[in-house]
Amino acid sequence: MNDFTVFLPPDVRRELEDLADATGRAPEDIALEAVRHRLARESSPVRVMAESLADAHADLLRRLGE
């Protein structure tokens, strides 16, 4: 796994550590879960829009690929 460092303001860091302590989990696990959740939520509409555009312009894209 590659390391990735994110600066958290002290108040956010404290909340993350408190949540981790209260749930018996590592702060890193909670942060990873939050990032995955955000990516899933944000990428879904983008993917739908890209597929819609590709469908709408399929003929043009096919001709450009020739």
Per-residue pLDDT of the chain (66 residues; tens, 9 = 90+): 688 899 999 999 999 999 999 999 999 999 999 999 999 888 777 777 878 888 888 888 788 887
pLDDT at 41: 86
pLDDT at 64: 85
Percent of the chain that is helix, strand, coil (3-state, to 5): 80, 0, 20
d(CA 5, CA 2): 10
Number of helices (H), then strands (E), belonging to the chain: the values are: 3, 0
pLDDT at 25: 98
Orientation angle between helical segments 27-56 and 10-23, nearest 10 degrees: 110
> Alpha carbon of 4 to those of 7, 31, 38, 39, 61: distances in Å?
10, 12, 17, 16, 37
pLDDT at 40: 87
